[in-house]
Structure 1
């Protein structure tokens, strides 16, 4: 599905959030790889589960056509610096919910990009009959957890010893959800 483009100005930086389009595929493939290497907050290490340009082209096409999915990008001066996806489910028992995921280049942390991608996704979900948005977050990512709570998400569970990070230690994943009546 698509949304109308929105503009934001945060800490002196102007950026837009818009739906992903076909020509974004090459840049998305590159920045996803970069983002995966910049943080351990995500599920993948750099290079794992790589999506090439064609893969992103197919993802963008299917997300645009599917009313249960939303693929957004954030761009500063026409340069994509972050993205998010909401992926719904076509099974009737789960058709009321979508799972949210986000990635932002480290140089652009602190500008509310992740927050605004999520807020736009929540607005889209609420206006399209999606009652529940879910997400997973690493237990040590307190900044994200606090943001999610401010936006109405509640902790629904903890996946114990779910991830092993570069320090060799096991970490929990926090499962969170936001239900809209």
Structure 2
């Protein structure tokens, strides 16, 4: 299933099973059957339908969303080898830690809110009739050191725009990881029909603003005194990238 494809359901049982797995990220098959309170035959029919449509996948009895967001890529730069790939449920703790690490030091408010949303929902990927959420991660020796996040509204009037955040923990910067993550997210958005990406950054985050500008982003607007950082009122710089 593609992340931009809005899921549809032929039966209420299929909707119930999908919603349970989607809200929990992953779910043991027997736990999903118990939690949805469906009888065995109805549950099995609903699950088989979801598997056949490519909405869910069953990995040895563990159910998860079957989103197709790309392949695994290996990169090398300055003697550093790192992998960029779609995030998996097992990346949850490392992903939250990386986002919090970056947002704490650079007042990356939007990224901080993404981390809080992850913790609240306790799931890496979301895909329902309202919104989708996709993450790409960069790993070094299987440790998450950076991310690119795309928030994808499913409402028709918003489905051609997406919010993008990107960040790399301090110890792994200056090796091109952030640029590769940015390019991966932007290429995915372009390939899937999005016409515009946006991000919002406090005006005091000069490095973040310079990074976005270096990748072709432009300032779309400024909201005065939008953030409170410490005791200081700080402007919000609204950045955007529009595909040709």
**Equivalents in 2 of 1:122, 1:66: separation in Å?**
22
TM-score of the superposed pair, with normalisation by structure 2: 0.63
**Equivalents in 2 of 1:87, 1:115: separation in Å?**
19
Q: Give 5+ residue unaligned stretches, structure 2.
A: 4-68
Partner residue, 1:26 = 93
**Equivalents in 1 of 2:157, 2:170: separation in Å?**
37
CA displacement at 1:29 relative to structure 2: 3.0
Partner residue, 1:38 = 105
Q: Aligned with 1:49: secondary structure?
A: helix
Is structure 2 residue 85 aligned with structure 1 residue 85?
Answer: no
Comparing both chains, which one has the higher relative contact order based on Cα–Cα distances under 8 Å and sequence gaps of 6 or more? Answer: 1
Partner residue, 1:110 = 174
Partner residue, 2:14 = none
Larger Rg: 2
TM-score of the superposed pair, with normalisation by structure 1: 0.82
CA displacement at 1:99 relative to structure 2: 0.3
1:120-164 CA deviation, whole Å, 9 max, x = no partner? 111001111011111112212223222222322111000111112
Q: CA 1:99 to 1:43, structure 2 compared with 1: closer, same or farther past 3 Å?
A: closer
CA displacement at 1:67 relative to structure 2: 9.4
Is structure 2 residue 217 aligned with structure 1 residue 153?
Answer: yes
1:27-79 CA deviation, whole Å, 9 max, x = no partner? 22333333333332335779x83743x834x232x259999642111101111
Q: Please say which of residues 6-15 and 169-178 is displaced more in the overlay.
A: 6-15
How large is the RMSD of aligned CA atoms in angstroms? Answer: 2.8
Is structure 2 residue 118 aligned with structure 1 residue 55?
Answer: no
**Equivalents in 2 of 1:63, 1:152: separation in Å?**
29
Q: Give yes or no for contact 2:130–2:153 (8 Å, CA) kept in 1.
A: no
How does 1:160-171 map onto structure 2 within 5 Å?
Answer: 160-166=224-230, 168-171=231-234
**Equivalents in 1 of 2:136, 2:218: separation in Å?**
23
Normalized per residue, the structure richer in helix is 2
Q: CA 1:173 to 1:81, structure 2 compared with 1: closer, same or farther past 3 Å?
A: same
CA displacement at 1:87 relative to structure 2: 0.8
**Equivalents in 1 of 2:136, 2:128: separation in Å?**
10
CA displacement at 1:175 relative to structure 2: 0.5
